[in-house]
Amino acid sequence: QGELPGGLEVAIKRLSTCSVQGLMEFKTEIQLIAKLQHTNLVRLLGCCLQAEEKMLIYEYMHNKSLDCFIFDSAKGAILKWERRFRIIDGIAQGLLYMHKHSRLRVIHRDLKASNILLDRDMNPKISDFGLARIFCSNVTEANTTRVVGTHGYIAPEYASEGLFSTKSDVFSFGVLLLEIISGKRTAGFYQYGKFFNLTGYAYQLWQEAKWHEMVDQVLGVDYPVTEVMKCVQVALLCVQDSADDRPGMSDVVAMLSGEGLTLPEPRQPAYFNVRLSSLPESNSSFGESSYISNVALTDEDGR
């Protein structure tokens, strides 16, 4: 945290000399944020690239990041459902702008709770564009041999084949939506019944008409059942195994904001078949290598 001569509070991101984020990612982040202007994207105020110093100066976010709240039972109580829904809608609006309405078509590739910053009024702003990629308007997907991202948020076609598209971000958004509803982290941290991931657990509860069992306990019973149920269904539509089955962000925004819409029934989510009984005994303790390998993954902490 810092302050400019005029009194403006700023956040300064300084890359360490041993950071895994290289010069290319640093420049990508500068170029993208400078060109993207939306109320739900973090605003870049300046940068420094001199000698060994690499620094970015952002608008200051007084409430840090979303993961500080939804994964903390005490702070999570501050996020009543109405506020959580505003955060969900804001993230969706930011992604829709990146995918469709900005001058550039941008795929974030590392959407997660710690990359959603919250301002003084708890408005969400998508941050950390170091891994983002720019698409031409007539290109829908690309391929890479270097898969990057965070365990639990990576779409299956990206993890296994290196194929990424706007639907990769949609998958990550679906995982994030389930986390906001449940107050629990996705794969890599907990065991959910017979599942090693939140998506499989949520889908089983949905099939058994027990989706309410995954709602964050700090919300109590005082939440709009129809709206929360709709959000669970939208999340499950976003994490479907096939990218073709997932909605685009324009459809997601319409489903979230619309009333009385009949939503399609979600199909099986990615990694649904990875359960305790299907893993070798040596892999019985839950770790990040459980079902994704040969992937360059970042952890939950910032780069």
Catalytic residue set: 110
Rounded-to-integer distance, Cα 50 and Cα 26, Å: 13
Rounded-to-integer distance, Cα 288 and Cα 270, Å: 16
- Gyration radius of the chain over CA positions: 19
Q: Looking at residue 195, what DSSP letter applies?
A: B
Locate all alpha helices (DSSP H) within the chain, ordered by sequence.
Answer: 23-35, 67-70, 73-76, 81-96, 156-161, 166-182, 198-207, 225-238, 249-257
Rounded-to-integer distance, Cα 214 and Cα 206, Å: 10
Q: Determine phi and psi for 33, rounding to 5 degrees.
A: -65, -30
CA atoms within 13 A on the CB side of 259: 3
SS3 track for 30-65? HHHHHHCCCCCECCEEEEEEECCEEEEEEECCCCCE
Q: Two tokens at 76?
A: 């999570």
